[in-house]
Structure 1
Amino acid sequence: MNRNMQQQGGKPMVRPVVAAVAFAVATIAHAQEAKKDDSAQLETVVVTANKRAQNLQDVPTAITVLSDAVLQRNNVKDFDDLPALSPALSVSYSSQPGNYSINMRGIGTFSLGVGVEADVSVIIDDVPYAMQANAFKDLSDVNRVEVLKGPQSTLMGKSSIAGAVNISTKPIDSLWKTKVSTYITDDQEWRVSGSVSGALSDTMRMRLAAGTSSFPGVVKNLTNGKHLNGSDNTNFVGKFEWTPTDQWTVVLSPHASTFNKNCCVSPLRLVSNMNGLYSLNNGFTYASPASQIPVSQILAGITPGPDNVSVRNDYPAGGKANDVGTGLKVNYAFGDTGFLANHTLTSITSWSHYKMTDYQDGDNTDSDVLANALVGGQPTGLHGGLYQTGKFDVKSKTEEVRLISPDKGRIRYVAGLFYGKNDLGRHLERFPAGTYITNYSARAFNTNYAIFANGTIDLTQKTSIIAGLRYNKEDVGYTFDSPLLAPIVTNRSQHHYEDSDSERKTTGKIGLEHRFNPGAMGYVTYSTGHKGKGIDLTSSFNDANFNNGFVAGEDARSVEGGLKLSLLDNRMALDLAVFKTDFDGFQQSAGQTDADGIYRTQLHSIGSVRSSGFEADMNWRVLRDLSLNGSFAYTKAIVTSFPNGPCYSRLNDAGTGGTVVGAGNCIVNNPLFGKANTADLAGMTLPNAPKYKLNLGGQYDIRTDRSYDAFITAAYRWQSKINFRIDQDPTSVQGAYGIFNLGAGLKDKKGAWKFSFNVNNVFNKSYAASMGNVSWGNTMYGSKPTALVNIQQWTPARDYKRYFAARADFAF
């Protein structure tokens, strides 16, 4: 690791944390000495976590709320920016955007494909995404992000077993307003967005918002001089509201976006012998070492190391996607009399179509690696290298009808019906020769029917019972075709598979809340969650997968207790929570011996995992002109049962092959699992699950006697070390690190304009978004053909180095 990474994992990392604590203590003392007339208090934070508008401090659930002010202050662009502001969230990156995973409290989807649903749902304006990949684009016109932690299956349904991210877009203004925002950085990122909102008539209002952004990326492609691991986005969001009477409200919300992530490229951190030779795997051989290419030629201009961000690719990387859809929300408010007096009946209908074309450089070089390669002892007759391309095609329809009781009364509830139909297609091709070739088309579909209810019953003026129940029926099915279309191929044949299944599941929630006083509420809840059946629709799908059928779903059992506190005369809101969640039948790639006696790796419901810990969320109006927000999480996300987990390998001392190692207990040729190399991973930490994570941010306004004021912003985040792989490979560890951002600016007192300047990653601390000994699809040899070369890669984060940004906002 480089010097910055090493320091971040040791004692020097304690200093920024101590400084932050000292700053907070000093601020408290200053606040206590503040003038009595400085009586600014916190604004009420309204959330819709229970499918009704409520004060955050009245909701007995652990929630991190990212308000519009926090999102703007931190220049949040897309979903990738949210984990920096919510310690419970993390994102695991993969070889292309369709395989990204959102993790909550250390739990995420570690087996990917259109036949496996996510563990964390993403919902925008009451409409759930059918596939997580659709979330990784610009967050357009967002007003609030609610991070709901722990199982949310009872109210949010499908894909919410570990949590949910509930996003609300900006409301429509009553008076006409036009806003424009621009943003630019010194590393060539730029953004432009605008909105117009207001009343068209006494009964019709509208809001239109659009934006475009571009960032070349932090990885340099020496082949063409361009950058990688960036993105280009264009988006449109509309909102049309019609209120023909006081009782009816109809909102139509169309959206459309296109986005291109030229991503997922991992530069080399280590190549143990730059004087070696290069050889393709995947069924290729070479007539002699003389026909292979020197590593120094393959990596011309690249110096592997902890700061290397250069690659050589002659084929595009990433994915281009577009998404169109609409939502229709109809509310009917009942009058003051009758059986349903003051109730609200809501219908939410949605339709969306998400498509993405993805592509990868299969050999990660720009050399003519096929020229001298042999397949079956014969020349390929080809030039160039390996490449991959694929398509995702996802269609979704949902309908939800719910009845909401009045906010006042001894019994308050929401009850409803839900229908959702998702059709997810995946086509993948790898070419042009050898066993690298893959060509398959898969389609997974699921249809959900549910009835749900959630409510609160007051036992006394201070004590209430919380209860919820959901009954869900899901029909699932798939088709899988792998035709033989390639000219040069080995060990492939044409197959067609299809199957369907169905299951019924009930999830629920029960708890108790008690209000100690107007500013303090405590709660304890027990909830369950469920994730549906899965099928491993990837390039390894075969007869064994088909014969084994669908993989059983996941089940979760969670206990949570918390306090919601309003302190310092409503200047501070402090939410505390402790939790423990057990997941049974966790869906993960593992191995088993099939009836034919052959050991194969595929998707299984492996034993179980557990996530437990402590969380704190704070919003603090220290002074009228000083606001702070912060969150802290201690999370212990571990495997509790995985007897046939994977080992990892190291080069042997002679450098002629791999030595199987493991997490301290690897068994080579384990007879219990078909003589495979396995490790019992019980007690091991899950991938990308930091034990400690902290963020703290704030803004200080400086009032002047002119027509404008000034302000200063700051944000600091820190997390402990993580391992990116479940097999605990020590080469995949990112040490602890902290990132500090600083900003300042001027703003018009009437809100007509605002200019701000930011320094991101002030202390230039380097860190990785992913890391490890990742298979390159090729082999590098040392001075002898039998001496293998050790290879390590990393993915630099967007802010792996310091950069500067300027922003201008205007309102008319």
Structure 2
Amino acid sequence: MTFTVRLLGGAAPLALLAAANPAFAAADVTPAAADQTTSAGTGQSDNDTIVVTARRRAETAQDVPLAISVVGGDHIDNTGAFNVGRLQQLTPTLQFTSTNPRNTSVNIRGIGAPIGLTNDGIEQGVGIYVDDVYMARVASSTFDFLDVKQIEVLRGPQGTLYGKNTTAGAINITSRQPTFDFEGRAEASVGNLGFTQFKAAVSGPLSETVAVRVAGSLTNRNGTLLNAFNGHKVNEQDNLGLRAQVLFKPSSSVEVTLAGDFSRQNPECCAQLYVRTGATQRPLARQYDALAAAQGYVVPSTNPYDRITDVDATLRAKNQIGGVSLRVKAETGLGTFTSITAWRTWDWDPSNDRDFIGLPITTKSNNPSKQDQYTQEFRLSGEKGKLGYVLGAFGFYQKIQTNGIQQQGSAASKWLINPTNPLSNVPAVLDGLTANNDIRFTNTSAALFGKLTWKVADGFSIQPGFRLNYDKKNGDYNSVVTDGQGNLVVFEVDSTGKSLNSNEEKAQLAVLAPQAFIAKFSDWNFSYDVTASYDVTPDIHLYATYAKSFKTGGINLNGVPADTAGVPLLALATVKPESVNHYEAGIKTQFLDRKATFNVAIFRTEIGNYQAQVSNYTVGALRGYLANADKARTQGVEVDWSYRPSERFNVYGNGAFTDATYRKFTNAPCPPELSGGSQPVDANGNLTATPSAPGTPGVSPLSCDISGQRLPGVSRWSASFGAEANLPVNLLGKDGQVYLGFDGNYRSSWSSNPSPSAYTWVKGYALSNFRLGVRSDAGFDIFGWVRNAFDVNYIDQLSVASGNTGLIVGNVGDPRTWGATVKLTF
């Protein structure tokens, strides 16, 4: 019997990513064994029993002919990797950026989704699955893991094995399943910054054929930033996760699992703070220093690591996700048949300060959003002689409604209107100017997919796969603008196209412009892959893969650019699918009686019509939308190794070199140092003056050629590493261990802007985490921990504030945190 009472400290909840997606495990449901100590990356354990389900069957990570990182639930708990954001510290080719749950990006090898503002009409390239259930909203990745057994990070296209097509990879999360032996676990942690966390799970039989498992987590932590405006500590944690599963097993060949979950976040969050300013090509009187001086404003600190902001708008990041799923699994004469039916819901209720400072410029900039998602997957897998197979069908329907608002405040006129315009001294021109946005979106997808394994000879197999996919998207965008008195603000032109708007209306339309359009996208795609694998010896495995894949097109639902009369440019309303060619080869080895593991993968992914974030920094322009760059490419080398000479010591290291660049993007948006100036053009739209030097007021280019420059969010070099040593002791008459553990990670510098800018490079950094504790075979584990032990100052993400003022804001990483955790298992 196992009941684990875990008091895991600063390891914020390992809770909800699993709770965020009720699901059915990909592997067979078997009585859960006690957690084993595993090495992050290779998943190696003392008795080598860790299995993965990446190919829809149970096998060791070494037998899978693809690049895969495995992290056991024990390692997740001990290192405080409570969500996908923390998981990237253990898997170096995973990149996670987030300014709030909705504006989150998860990438693998530098590709997957553009970083920056989330666009509801575009899909992610990294699939997140919990027990086979696909999570369409990347916001789910910010929730706590809940009762997780292990996590597999699959690198490279996965569309021939998984329900939803993914071109960059997949994160496959397996939760602990109901058991017919009673077991339970719980943890409690306390730490600095007011950190408290409680997690518990209990599992057992209700009858000979029915078992149930219930799990929950609760996490709270004070904010890491001081808001000088109201004295509140902001960017806090306030998380709740609940999950229940019922297993019905009427016979040895049939099992049915019903699962439900609910997760909630409700912190005072998410503030970005002043990091620096950089010179743009805007007139000096319209850059940050002059604008702030004109209103007598001084930021409370120019050092971001003082962790002080003064945002004057309400902060809220209320995030709820949940759902129900039903998995039916049956052994038939043709193989194992699996049906997975799921419904997911997501409710996002935010409040932000999008001018990022303590002036009432933009007093509201919120986009509450609701989603309903329905998925159905059928899968048949089996093996007949030399032929193995996985055949599947997948259906997906998603409905999203977003009702956003942006409202300007009393300081907006002086900040946003040219000082040479007398209206800049009239607060009423922009005070109360409001855009109400109604955004509707439906997304339907259906697919047939399959993977065959032909054992050509002993140790040699060829594995072709295919996917036939249909996608249909419908979007409806409607933004209505009113002034401070509630009057509609619209574009008015005569028959020749000359504006009939008053000067006040022109100033208002330059800040918030009404827009309405309907856009549709639909397409069929066929993709395929082939892998050849060869077992040189039982402990040396070679593989090579080619994949022709795609990322479906989409719709820009943040609005699109418009002409001078406010007519939306509908050619930019839809985005073309990405075309992907992927090449990969690897070797997986074990030696020293399988106590050492060493794996290497080399890869190259070429993307045509790369879906790139386009940022326009001018006042009144869209903050971001998507467009297609001609070509992008990512290539590199990955190494995963671990060594476990005995149960007394283990060490691991994982590293990656990733070269991810735009190969051809000649008409990209310019970075802020080349933006904001005048742009005189002739009748053909060509610039008639020479652009000024970067950061020099004057003339700005219409676009920039950023071919060869770095894709955002990815470091060239990244690594994770760690070790644990223990000594045997006798505790209360039971065998036990005193142990010391270390986990660290490093990433080199990376670009935080779609078009690389001198102002938005994030410096590289290394983080170190330690734990010291004692555990016993009696079922308890008590340890102290410290994370970011050397109190390294680092940036999670930088952003360019709109308006070309040169203001750069950012999210600072957590300072040193420390605490203690108690776990009990019986």
TM-score of the alignment, normalized to the shorter chain, above 0.5: yes
Counterparts of 1:222 and 1:117, CA distance in 2: 38
Q: Structure 1 stretch 538-547 or stretch 260-269: which is displaced more?
A: 538-547
Rate the CA distance shift 1:579–1:42 in 2: closer, same or farther, 3 A.
farther
Task: Determine the structure 2 residue equivalent to 1:229.
Answer: 235
RMSD: 3.1
Which amino acid is the alignment partner of residue 666 of structure 2?
A: P
Task: Determine the structure 1 residue equivalent to 2:15.
Answer: none
Counterparts of 1:328 and 1:252, CA distance in 2: 5
Equivalences for residues 20-419 of structure 1 within 5 A: 41-94=46-99, 96-110=100-114, 112-158=118-164, 160-270=166-276, 292-296=294-298, 299=299, 302-334=300-332, 340=334, 343-367=335-359, 369=360, 386-406=363-383, 409-419=385-395
Equivalences for residues 8-19 of structure 1 within 5 A: none
Rate the CA distance shift 1:480–1:658 in 2: closer, same or farther, 3 A.
closer
Q: Is this contact kept in 2: 1:363–1:777, CA < 8 A?
A: no
Counterparts of 2:53 and 2:166, CA distance in 1: 16
Residue 735 of structure 1 and its aligned partner are, at CA, apart by 2.2
Q: Is this contact kept in 1: 2:652–2:722, CA < 8 A?
A: yes
Counterparts of 1:254 and 1:670, CA distance in 2: 62
Say yes or no: does 1:526 pair with 2:546. yes
Task: Determine the structure 2 residue equivalent to 1:647.
Answer: 670
Residue 487 of structure 1 and its aligned partner are, at CA, apart by 3.4
Say yes or no: does 1:605 pair with 2:602. no
Equivalences for residues 604-643 of structure 1 within 5 A: 604-643=627-666
Q: Is this contact kept in 1: 2:801–2:809, CA < 8 A?
A: no
Residue 771 of structure 1 and its aligned partner are, at CA, apart by 2.5
Say yes or no: does 1:579 pair with 2:603. yes
1:420 to 396, 402, 409: 396
Q: Is this contact kept in 2: 1:669–1:675, CA < 8 A?
A: no
Task: Determine the structure 2 residue equivalent to 1:516.
Answer: 536
Which amino acid is the alignment partner of residue 353 of structure 1?
A: T
1:684 to 701, 709, 720: 709
Rate the CA distance shift 1:685–1:740 in 2: closer, same or farther, 3 A.
same
Task: Determine the structure 2 residue equivalent to 1:763.
Answer: 790
TM-score between both structures, scaled by the size of structure 1: 0.82
Q: Secondary structure at the match of 2:305?
A: coil
Q: Is this contact kept in 2: 1:107–1:119, CA < 8 A?
A: yes
Q: Is this contact kept in 1: 2:402–2:438, CA < 8 A?
A: yes
Residue 364 of structure 1 and its aligned partner are, at CA, apart by 3.2
Q: Secondary structure at the match of 2:730?
A: coil
Counterparts of 2:198 and 2:475, CA distance in 1: 41
Give per-residue Cα distances to partners, 1:11-32, cap 9 Å, x unaligned.
xxxxxxxxxxxxxxxxxxxxxx
Counterparts of 2:561 and 2:246, CA distance in 1: 46
Q: Secondary structure at the match of 2:74?
A: helix
Residue 650 of structure 1 and its aligned partner are, at CA, apart by 3.9
Q: Secondary structure at the match of 2:574?
A: coil
Equivalences for residues 776-795 of structure 1 within 5 A: 791-795=807-811
Which amino acid is the alignment partner of residue 769 of structure 1?
A: D
Which amino acid is the alignment partner of residue 708 of structure 2?
A: G
Counterparts of 2:379 and 2:197, CA distance in 1: 38
Task: Determine the structure 1 residue equivalent to 2:456.
Answer: 459
Which amino acid is the alignment partner of residue 718 of structure 1?
A: Y
Counterparts of 2:85 and 2:521, CA distance in 1: 35
Counterparts of 1:59 and 1:175, CA distance in 2: 31
Q: Is this contact kept in 2: 1:279–1:778, CA < 8 A?
A: no
TM-score between both structures, scaled by the size of structure 2: 0.80
Residue 721 of structure 1 and its aligned partner are, at CA, apart by 1.4
Counterparts of 1:649 and 1:432, CA distance in 2: 23
Give per-residue Cα distances to partners, 1:365-416, cap 9 Å, x unaligned.
445x47xxxxxxxxxxxxxx6222221111100111111104x731111101
Rate the CA distance shift 1:65–1:669 in 2: closer, same or farther, 3 A.
farther
Q: Secondary structure at the match of 1:743?
A: strand
Counterparts of 1:344 and 1:210, CA distance in 2: 31
Counterparts of 1:42 and 1:619, CA distance in 2: 14
Counterparts of 2:560 and 2:592, CA distance in 1: 59
Task: Determine the structure 1 residue equivalent to 2:590.
Answer: 566
Residue 504 of structure 1 and its aligned partner are, at CA, apart by 0.6
Task: Determine the structure 1 residue equivalent to 2:722.
Answer: 697
Percentage of pairs with the same residue: 25
Q: Structure 1 stretch 516-525 or stretch 718-727: which is displaced more?
A: 718-727
Rate the CA distance shift 1:125–1:628 in 2: closer, same or farther, 3 A.
same
Rate the CA distance shift 1:603–1:776 in 2: closer, same or farther, 3 A.
closer
- Structure 2 unpaired stretches of 5+: 1-43, 410-429, 490-507, 680-685, 692-698
Q: Is this contact kept in 2: 1:696–1:717, CA < 8 A?
A: yes
Residue 116 of structure 1 and its aligned partner are, at CA, apart by 1.1
Rate the CA distance shift 1:229–1:765 in 2: closer, same or farther, 3 A.
same
Residue 228 of structure 1 and its aligned partner are, at CA, apart by 1.8
Counterparts of 1:246 and 1:330, CA distance in 2: 13
Q: Secondary structure at the match of 1:155?
A: coil
Q: Secondary structure at the match of 2:161?
A: helix
Which amino acid is the alignment partner of residue 813 of structure 2?
A: A
Rate the CA distance shift 1:600–1:365 in 2: closer, same or farther, 3 A.
closer
Q: Is this contact kept in 2: 1:182–1:809, CA < 8 A?
A: yes
Q: Is this contact kept in 2: 1:93–1:770, CA < 8 A?
A: yes
Residue 811 of structure 1 and its aligned partner are, at CA, apart by 2.2
Counterparts of 1:133 and 1:178, CA distance in 2: 29
- Structure 1 unpaired stretches of 5+: 1-38, 371-384, 593-597, 661-666, 780-789
Residue 628 of structure 1 and its aligned partner are, at CA, apart by 2.5
1:727 to 716, 734, 755: 755
Give per-residue Cα distances to partners, 1:234-275, cap 9 Å, x unaligned.
0111111001122210011111111135434222233699xx
Counterparts of 1:651 and 1:156, CA distance in 2: 43
Which amino acid is the alignment partner of residue 176 of structure 1?
A: F
Counterparts of 1:536 and 1:52, CA distance in 2: 38
Q: Secondary structure at the match of 1:703?
A: strand
Q: What is the total number of aligned residue pairs between the two structures?
A: 708
Rate the CA distance shift 1:213–1:601 in 2: closer, same or farther, 3 A.
closer
Q: Is this contact kept in 2: 1:269–1:308, CA < 8 A?
A: no
Counterparts of 2:537 and 2:276, CA distance in 1: 59
